[in-house]
Amino acid sequence: MLLLSGLLVGAPATALAHDVGVIRLGAEEAPAGSELEIRGEKLSKNTEFTVVLRGALETHTLGAVRSDSAGAFTLRVVLPADASPGAYVVRLLAPDGDESARAELKLLPPAPQAVAAAEHDHHEEGGGQSAHVEATAAPLDLPLDRGPLEWALVLAISAGSLAGGLALLRRA
């Protein structure tokens, strides 16, 4: 009877393959392209981890690190210079892909010297020609010089569309 009840209840829960620890960042905010110190503790001992920077639309692998016999590590990484500014999470992934620790990071725009260096590298790669276009929140400056005949045509098309829409509504 006890054997049967044990089979019905099921097997006991399996233990986690790794510990959930803590990582601490050297700064809560950092510019893209800068160096960041990451310290880990309370992790699985002598385990290889992958450090990942995860944002809303992009993910960057920052490197790999091995915890010591106390389950701790210290790592210095360079944040990707081409990463978009915004809110990110630095994640520590165990060999099985599970998250072992996480910390939030606000990524700032790159420092001016990092931007200049990146643009210099871009010019050398592309043979000196640059096709870099950056999005802005500024309104687009389009010429709106229209003559009276063009405005009359725009108004006639708008009035015709309105009349056609009302006629379709009355039929239904």
51 within a domain of the structure (yes/no): yes
DSSP string, 94-126: -TTS-EEEEEEEEEEPPPHHHHHHHHHHHHHHT
Residue 50 contacts residue 40 (beta carbons within 8 Å): no
Residue 113 pLDDT grade (very low, low, confident, very high; cuts 50, 70, 90):
low
pLDDT digits (tens, 9 = 90+) for 139-167: 666 666 778 898 899 999 999 999 999 99
Q: Which of 65, 68, 71 is nearest to 92 (CA)?
A: 65
Number of domains in the chain: 1
CATH classification of the domain holding 33: 2.60.40.3880
Asked whether residue 39 carries a pLDDT value surpassing 50, the answer given is yes
Asked whether residue 18 carries a pLDDT value surpassing 80, the answer given is no
The H or E element containing residue 72 is none
Cβ atoms within 10 Å of 88's Cβ, excluding its own: 23
58 within a domain of the structure (yes/no): yes
The H or E element containing residue 148 is helix 148-171
